């Protein structure tokens, strides 16, 4: 089987330093790579962008960041919209928008469901991230984004499809909008940090009339009466459940902490993460 390029992006490692963003611009602004890409305009084009997602409610709040770019799809909608062979899929999996043949074809921009193709008004040309094919073809093993990233967010791998499927299953990798059937070659690790909900809360107990954080309390999450997860509270009495599907239904949280007692709360999960507030343990009879 033919080895093809894929990019693995770990959302949990991205801290929005934007060095990859700047490296991409440094590579392409004012630089012409015939056969690969015309120069990127100084403004208006972000071939590699960073998306932000905030989850939770005070005091349990998280912010995560996800690099996005051309997905180099195996079933690319842009290729279907292109005329006269303006876009080609290389044997190594990389999609190239021909900087000559694609001139005037704005339909290519509109065809991308990920919004990853930009329109160069001056050159009348659709443009996108080329997976740094011009560098890989000269012996580079990494893209500029990976080479510049201080937190190891990116990992370019050139393997056959069978090995990539194995990596996907082993590492829990996901692609963006798989329901589109575009078969992207950009894979994400810890994508749930951008797409799912978290639920958190704080557990307290009263000791001689003084409210204290309940550390080490057992917390069980149930969905329609069935246990789906469990955890324990930290030093501050806080707990968190993650990877919950948006709009997934009616839940119940049950807290137990030995002689300190128990607490319970029901809630419905919509499209947003929740902070359940303070749950006070009450001694059981």
- What phi and psi values does residue 154 have, to the nearest 5 degrees? -105, 145
CA atoms of 85 and 70, how far apart (whole Å): 18
* Per-residue model confidence (pLDDT) at position 285: 56
- What phi and psi values does residue 282 have, to the nearest 5 degrees? -125, 130
Provide the H-helix boundaries in the chain.
19-28, 77-81, 107-111, 133-136, 144-148, 161-171, 192-195
Residues 238, 217 contacting (CB under 8 angstroms):
no
Residues 98, 85 contacting (CB under 8 angstroms):
yes
Q: What is the pLDDT of residues 134-181, one digit of tens each?
A: 999 999 999 999 999 999 999 999 999 999 999 999 999 999 999 999
**Buried-exposed string 211-245: b where 16+ CB fall within 10 A, e elsewhere:** eeebeebbbbbbbeeeeeeeeebeeebbbbbbebe
Residue ranges and CATH numbers for the domains of the chain are 4-194 (3.30.70.20), 197-280 (2.60.40.10)
Order of strands, sheet of 4-10, starting from the edge strand that comes earlier in the sequence: 154-159, 4-10, 186-189
Sign of CA dihedral 233, 235, 237, 240: negative
Q: Kindly report the average pLDDT of the chain as a whole number.
A: 96
Q: What is the pLDDT of residues 28-41, one digit of tens each?
A: 999 999 999 999 99
CA atoms of 239 and 218, how far apart (whole Å): 9
- CA angle at 195 for the pair 199 and 244, rounded to the nearest 5°: 35
Q: Which of 111, 128, 120 is nearest to 186 (CA)?
A: 128
* Per-residue model confidence (pLDDT) at position 208: 73
Per-residue pLDDT of the chain (285 residues; tens, 9 = 90+): 799 999 999 999 999 999 999 999 999 999 999 999 999 999 999 999 999 999 999 999 999 999 999 999 999 999 999 999 999 999 999 999 999 999 999 999 999 999 999 999 999 999 999 999 999 999 999 999 999 999 999 999 999 999 999 999 999 999 999 999 999 999 999 999 999 999 999 999 987 778 899 999 999 999 989 999 999 999 999 999 999 999 999 999 999 998 878 999 999 999 999 999 999 998 765
Specify the pTM. 0.92
Structure tokens at 217: 């309390």
Q: Which of 126, 36, 38 is nearest to 77 (CA)?
A: 126
């Amino acid at each position: 089987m033919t080895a093809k390029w894929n990019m693995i992006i770990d959302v949990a490692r991205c801290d929005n330093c934007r060095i990859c963003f700047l490296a991409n611009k440094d590579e392409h602004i004012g630089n012409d790579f015939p056969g690969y890409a015309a120069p990127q305009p100084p403004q208006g084009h972000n071939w590699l962008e960073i998306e932000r997602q905030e989850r939770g409610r005070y005091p349990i709040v998280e912010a995560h960041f996800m690099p996005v770019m051309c997905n180099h799809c195996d079933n690319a909608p842009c290729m279907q919209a292109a005329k006269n062979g303006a876009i080609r899929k290389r044997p190594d999996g990389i999609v190239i928008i021909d900087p000559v043949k694609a001139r005037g074809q704005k339909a290519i921009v509109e065809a991308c469901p990920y919004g990853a193709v930009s329109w160069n008004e001056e050159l009348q040309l659709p443009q996108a991230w080329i997976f740094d094919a011009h560098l890989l073809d000269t012996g580079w093993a990494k893209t500029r984004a990976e080479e510049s990233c201080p937190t190891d967010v990116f990992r370019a791998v050139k393997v056959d499809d069978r090995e990539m499927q194995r990596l996907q299953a082993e590492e829990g990798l996901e692609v963006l909008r798989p329901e589109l059937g575009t078969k992207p070659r950009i894979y994400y690790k810890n994508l749930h940090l951008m797409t799912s909900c978290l639920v958190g809360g704080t557990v307290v107990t009263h000791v001689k009339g003084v409210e204290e954080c309940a550390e080490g309390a057992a917390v069980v999450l149930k969905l329609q009466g069935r246990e789906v997860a469990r955890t324990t509270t930290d030093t501050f009495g806080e707990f968190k459940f993650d990877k919950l599907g948006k709009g997934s239904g009616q839940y119940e949280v049950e807290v137990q902490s030995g002689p300190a007692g128990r607490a319970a709360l029901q809630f419905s999960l919509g499209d947003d993460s929740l902070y359940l507030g303070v749950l006070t343990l009450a001694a059981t009879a």
